[in-house]
A and B are shown apart, each in its own frame.
Chain A
Amino acid sequence: MSQEVMTQSQLATLAREKEDLAVDGLIVRHTAAVRLTHWLVAIFFFLSLFTGFVIFTPFFAGWASVFGGGPMVRTLHPWFALGFTIAILYLYRYWKMKMKKEAGDEEWKDNFGPYIRYESELQNVGKYNAGQKIYFWAVFWGAIAFLASGIVMWFPTVFPYFLRTISYWLHEITFVAFVIGIIYHIYMSTTAMPGTFRAMTRGTVTKDWAKWHHPRWYREVTGEKK
């Protein structure tokens, strides 16, 4: 690219369509389409989560008033969830190839302990580490479990009794797994790892960040040897 320093708006234009591109001190990590899809997933997820919490426990029954009362929560929740499912399908379209298993993933999994203690300095980590890939596939299959059980719960009396009870359990277990997942997803992408969140806002990360968290991806993008 040009040797001149780009303005923020020029960079933003570039980050709209192309990713894995190094410009000045930054690397474009996500195109605008991926970011927008991810935000749609996030918005529909939180709408479904907050309406779901109202039905999950009476301790959050008060949140119903935010959505226009209990009956509105019951009406809206499946539609929010449908929005979430569709957004997830788009994310799947963008990421299904990128989230495939590759060399280095096993090594990453073996180093999970050091990773959470910030002691791991693995060099063979690509654009997404094995943990991110596992998280993506867990979300994808979790969304399918939510959808399957959710349809039964949307129209319970249409389905046989045993399917209903299975669905209540499946929806409940998936819900708990998703809440635990989102807590760590947000913690790791904001507080725990500074410089990560901008990948979902501006679409760019710094070269320092990329070199530290995703060294192989950094080498691939910049062409540097080490």
Chain B
Amino acid sequence: MPSNMELRRISATPSPATGVRTAPTVAKMIDTTTCIGCKACEVACQEWNDLFNADIALEAPSEFGSYQTMPDLTANFWNLIRFNEHVEKRPDGSEKFHWLMAKDQCMHCEDPGCLKACPAPGAIVQYTNGVVDFQQEHCIGCEYCVTGCPFDIPRLSKKTKKVYKCTLCTDRLAYGLEPACIKACPTGCLQFGTKEHLVQIANARVEQLKHNGYEKAAIYDPPGVGGTGVIYVLGLGDQPELYGLPNDPHVPWTVSVWKHALKPIGSLLMIGALLGTIIHYVRYGRNEAPGMRKVDREEV
């Protein structure tokens, strides 16, 4: 971790995170309406993170009925343009085919479900700038984060038994550079900046789309996870599921109850049981058979 990146949250760590310096929350904006599916961002991600290797060729089936590079994200493929196929039914009865391009990757939630679920101290951190990052050297490979993530992003590597995902190019941000995918985008549909600034840009773009006939255009910044560090401009904003995005994502309630109710209640019960034996012993002592010889008590 570069020294100028401080921590806002640390997984499985009861003491406060270390960050004291304030930093503006950063974000990526993805304008799905101007994505042309060129996959330059995929290549840039693979190049910068040195992920390109023969494993990917092995993992990707040669044919799966899509123009997508891969059917799904993998432990060494963190950024996938999904070629979602959509048939629009027009009022005159005709049909029109659309590709609803969506850039699938870690959403860098303000309230990360992965971090909440993680039992390994320091394996998942959130920097003060909002980026959620996995620290593989602390990861134990339990995959709790996979269950905690409302977007189904983390992937376990078969080779290392650790989970991986988009780092939002933390190692570039630390030196004042934008993420590799942003740098590579030829249409400007990907933009990087402070979240505050990008929300303004996204809202302006939504207004423009509405004016151009996309009446349902909307920004995707789901409040259920406290907002995300990756925001989308969706042409069909009332149906995010068409883009493969959950309609109203939350940290799964089962994970919250598990971590915030079952664990503390269970811990208290276990401590209570231990205290119970002490109280019982002090109050009632030993149940000793009458006539037991002294030697019986000492023999084990």
Q: Measured between alpha carbons, how far is A202 from B162 in the docked complex, in Å? A: 47
Q: Which residues in A have their C-beta under 8 angstroms from that of B290?
A: 208, 212
Binds B, one of A39-47, A51-59, A122-130, A135-143: A51-59
Which one, B141, B254, B255, B286, contacts A191 given CB within 8 A? B286
Within 84-135 of A, Cβ neighbours of B (below 8 Å) are at 116-118
Known: A55-B142, A172-B266. A209 touches B292 (CB 8 A): yes
CB B142 to nearest CB in A, in angstroms, measures 5
Closest to B278 in A: A187
B140 & A73 in contact (Cβ 8 Å cutoff): yes
Interface residues of B in 250-284 (CB under 8 A from A): 252, 254-255, 257-258, 262-263, 266-267, 269-270, 273-274, 276-277, 280-281, 284
Question: With A168-B147, A195-B292, A209-B289 in contact, is A157–B263 under 8 Å at CB?
Answer: no
B14 to chain A, nearest CB (A): 6
Interface range for A: 35 or more
User: What residue in chain A is nearest B123 (Cβ atoms)?
Assistant: A70
With A and B bound together, what is the CA distance between A38 and B153 in angstroms?
44
Question: Is the CB–CB distance between A195 and B267 below 8 Å?
Answer: no
- Beyond A169-B258, A175-B266, A192-B280, whether A212 also contacts B289 by CB under 8 A is yes
Find the residue from A172, A193, A195 having the highest chain B CB count within 10 A.
Answer: A195
Contacting residues, chain B, for A59 (C-beta < 8 A): 14
Q: Are B296 and A208 in contact (CB under 8 A)?
A: yes
Q: Is the Cβ of A70 less than 8 Å from the Cβ of B140?
A: yes
Alpha-carbon gap, A117 to B279, bound state (A): 12
Contact B287 A118 (CB under 8 A): yes
Assembled-state Cα–Cα distance A208/B297 (Å): 12
Mark contacts of B119-147 with chain A using CB atoms, 8 A cut-off: 1 yes-contact digit, 0 otherwise: 11100000000000000001111111011
Instruction: Give me the interface of B with A, judged by CB distance under 8 Å.
Output: 12-14, 119-121, 138-144, 146-147, 156, 161-162, 252, 254-255, 257-258, 262-263, 266-267, 269-270, 273-274, 276-277, 280-281, 284, 286-293, 296-297, 299-300
A to B CB contacts below 8 Å, 10 in the list: A161-B147, A164-B147, A168-B254, A172-B263, A175-B266, A187-B277, A206-B293, A208-B289, A209-B289, A211-B289
